[in-house]
């Protein structure tokens, strides 16, 4: 650290990764500033994880009211008010924005509410003012992408979905990733006629095959009109809403068309070219294992690097960066066995290998799988099925994959992720006493593997 610069570290972007890197670096004695042109907290707090989870909670109450009857509860006809949900969500986001501001200011971080762009390896233009820093960290995240089809201006993304003036009667969700299935569940749970289109054979590419198939089955039962191998060719404005013409020539009417077909690293217009920072063809910033770009004084982490696009990953990367650069304790990011959840309805929790990947990388495996109706459904009358699955490497008996589709999947799999990170074996799972009656106990009571596929059995 040197006095030759205005700051020891300048962070571009005050999302989860940028804020954590700024705070921790300042706590280690660095002079730190952060620039944010939109909102403190980034995507996760403002138009991502937090508002999405709040909307998921809201959408599930329709089922909860129905389920209550089986347990003896009688209430009046439920009514939903979209404006109340949006207003209360906005209040919570504003509260979180304030917390982020206080955390930064309390750590001694200077906040610039302006756009920052690179002029060279150590100089930035921050709202028209030249600022210098010994190290610069880019943590500008990602941004939704809408394909360039005719009428794309009539579509929205997840960014706008949180601020709709009114709840649509008919919605089309385009995409096959976690954001698309989450919003399909949200809209359907709130009573919207919902169609989800995906250009492939089955959504959630990269997730376990059983998980993908099971979720599709459950979403269809809940009334989501899933259409695979389908895509929009163009969107037209109509007298009452929108008309989507599909590639097969058919049409669908909607009030809202939401694209969740991917996010691109938010790197355009940052001055990367001026500073000589290398990018991949998709716009992602190229970094090494210590988050350093090809320019020694410039670093990047989080979604802008297009590695693992999860908020907790960006935060963990920020901790490793700050420790290495300003605490003097070298740390690297471990990307193995990162758990994740999809807040679909029902939700997914997953950690470790999918069955398909395990068969490719782990040699022979045993698969333990259970599908059942949870206890709650016996009185509520719900026919929703929960799926639980363990993947065990035969040569070591290690549990190398754990997957669940069902209520509280994320909460349950978080604990199991610790076990997998510690190298737990199936024998240790079997030796663990279950908590009865819970859904989670199924993970320690599955005793017989499912029959192996013919190809593996012959090996």
pLDDT digits (tens, 9 = 90+) for 134-151: 999 999 999 999 999 999
Mark whether 48 and 132 lie in a shared domain.
Answer: yes
Residues 244 and 275 in one domain: no
Q: Tell me the pLDDT tens digit for each residue of 226-272.
A: 999 999 999 999 999 999 999 999 999 999 999 999 999 999 999 99
Q: Does the annotation count 306 as an active-site position?
A: no
Do 244 and 206 lie in a common domain?
Answer: yes
**418 and 308 inside one domain:** no
Same domain, 158 and 241: yes
Same domain, 271 and 131: yes
- Does the residue 197 lie in any domain? yes
Q: Is residue 390 part of a domain?
A: yes
Q: Can you state the angle between helices 82-106 and 49-68, rounded to 10 degrees?
A: 140
For residues 202-241, b (16+ Cβ closer than 10 Å) or e, as one string?
A: bbbeebbebbbebbbebbeebebbbeeebbbeebeeeeee
Q: Which of 261, 278, 313 is the last residue of a domain?
A: 261
Residue 243: the pLDDT is: 98
Residue 333 lies in a domain: no
Mean pLDDT over the full length of the chain:
96
Instruction: Identify the helix (H) or strand (E) that includes residue 402.
Output: strand 399-405
Q: Write out residues in the chain with pLDDT < 70, as ranges.
A: 1-2, 454-459
Q: Is 335 part of any domain?
A: no
> Is residue 30, in this structure, part of any structural domain at all?
yes
Residues 429 and 266: their CA atoms lie apart, in Å, by 42
Range(s) of the domain holding residue 381: 340-453
Of 134, 153, 141, residue with least CA distance to 268: 141
Q: Token pair for residue 344? A: 């679909």
* Residue 119 dihedral angles phi and psi, to the nearest 5°: -110, -35
Q: What is the pLDDT of residue 452?
A: 82
Please check whether residues 290 and 187 belong to one and the same domain: no
* The predicted structure's pLDDT at residue 56: 98
Compute φ and ψ for 444, nearest 5 degrees: -110, 10
* Among 122, 214, 403, 436, the one annotated catalytic: 436
In a domain, 43, yes or no: yes
What is the total count of domains within the chain?
3
Residue 170's domain is classified under what CATH number? 3.50.50.60
pLDDT for position 116? 97
């Amino acid at each position: 650290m040197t006095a030759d610069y205005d700051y020891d570290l300048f962070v571009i972007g005050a999302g989860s990764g940028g804020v954590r890197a700024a705070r921790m670096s300042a706590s280690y004695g660095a002079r730190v500033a952060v620039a944010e042109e939109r909102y403190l907290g980034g995507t996760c707090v403002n138009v991502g994880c937090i508002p999405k989870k709040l909307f998921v909670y809201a959408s599930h109450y329709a089922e909860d009211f129905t389920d209550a009857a089986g347990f003896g509860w009688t209430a009046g006809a439920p009514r939903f008010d979209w404006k109340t949900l949006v207003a209360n969500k906005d209040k919570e986001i504003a509260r979180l924005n304030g917390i982020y501001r206080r955390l930064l200011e309390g750590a001694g971080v200077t906040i610039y509410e302006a756009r920052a762009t690179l002029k060279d390896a150590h100089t930035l233009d921050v709202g028209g003012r030249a600022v210098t820093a010994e190290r610069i960290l880019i943590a500008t995240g990602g941004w939704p992408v809408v394909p360039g089809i005719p009428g794309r201006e009539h579509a929205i993304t997840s960014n706008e979905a949180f601020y709709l003036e009114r709840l649509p009667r008919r919605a089309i969700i385009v995409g096959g990733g976690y954001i698309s299935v989450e919003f399909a569940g949200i809209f359907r749970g709130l009573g919207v006629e919902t169609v989800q289109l995906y250009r492939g054979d089955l959504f959630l590419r990269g997730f376990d095959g059983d998980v993908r198939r099971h979720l599709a089955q459950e979403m269809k039962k809940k009334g989501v009109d899933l259409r695979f191998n389908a895509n929009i060719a163009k969107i037209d404005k109509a007298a009452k809403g929108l008309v989507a013409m599909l590639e097969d020539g058919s049409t669908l009417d909607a009030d809202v068309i939401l694209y969740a077909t991917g996010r691109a690293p938010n790197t355009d217009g940052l001055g990367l070219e001026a500073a000589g920072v290398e990018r991949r063809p998709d716009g992602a910033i190229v970094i090494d294992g210590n988050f350093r770009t090809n320019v020694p004084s410039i670093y990047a982490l989080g979604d802008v690097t297009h590695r693992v696009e999860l908020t907790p990953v960006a935060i963990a990367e920020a901790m490793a960066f700050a420790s290495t650069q300003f605490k003097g304790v070298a740390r690297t990011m471990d990307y193995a066995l990162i758990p994740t959840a999809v807040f679909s309805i029902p939700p997914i929790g997953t950690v470790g290998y999918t069955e398909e990947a395990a068969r490719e990388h782990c040699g022979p495996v045993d698969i333990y799988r259970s599908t059942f109706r949870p206890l709650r459904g016996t009185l509520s009358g719900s026919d929703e099925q929960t799926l639980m699955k363990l993947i065990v490497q035969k040569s070591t008996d290690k549990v190398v994959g754990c997957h669940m589709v069902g209520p509280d999947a994320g909460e349950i799999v978080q604990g199991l992720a610790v076990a997998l990170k510690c190298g737990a074996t199936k024998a240790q799972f079997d030796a663990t006493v279950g908590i009865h009656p819970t859904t989670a106990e199924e993970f320690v009571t599955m005793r017989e593997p499912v029959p192996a596929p013919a190809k593996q059995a012959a090996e």
